[in-house]
């Protein structure tokens, strides 16, 4: 029996548990809970069925990086005024 080409690539789930989402963002669960504005998606009743959309997490992380670049531009503009 031969394996298909898709068996060579790991599947990254789109919906992540709280623990997985925190690990994906590179922070602990308590830190994740304190800083992440992305709301969990309820797949049913109770916390056990809440999931975080990986693409929404990417958007939040991208916005953090964008804010950092904007801050750098403002900083450079302030230097030029001196």
Decide if 33 is inside a domain.
yes
Total domains, the chain: 1
Domain for residue 39, yes or no?
yes
Classify residue 4: in a domain, yes or no: no
Q: Can you give the residue range of the structural domain that contains 25?
A: 13-81
Q: Please write the tens of the pLDDT for every residue from 57-74.
A: 999 999 987 776 654 455
Residue among 46, 57, 62 at smallest CA distance from 21? 57
Task: Summarize pLDDT for 6-65 with one digit per residue, the tens.
Answer: 667 788 899 999 999 999 999 999 999 999 999 999 999 988 899 999 999 999 999 987
Residue 63 within any structural domain of the chain: yes
pTM value is 0.69
pLDDT of residue 70: 54
Give the per-residue pLDDT at 36: 96
Is residue 51 included in any domain, yes or no?
Answer: yes
Q: How far apart are the first and last CA of the chain?
A: 71
**pLDDT class for 2, splitting at 50, 70, 90?**
low
CA distances from 80 to 64, 67, 70, 72 (A): 25, 20, 16, 13
Instruction: Decide if 73 is inside a domain.
Output: yes
């Amino acid at each position: 029996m031969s394996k298909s080409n898709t068996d060579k690539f790991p599947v990254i789930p789109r919906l992540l548990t709280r623990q997985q989402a925190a690990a994906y963002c590179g922070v602990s669960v308590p830190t994740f809970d304190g800083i992440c504005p992305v709301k969990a998606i309820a797949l049913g009743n109770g916390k056990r069925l809440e999931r975080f959309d990986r693409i929404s997490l990417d958007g939040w992380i991208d916005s953090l990086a964008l804010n950092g670049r904007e801050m750098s531009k403002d900083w450079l503009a302030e230097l030029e005024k001196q």
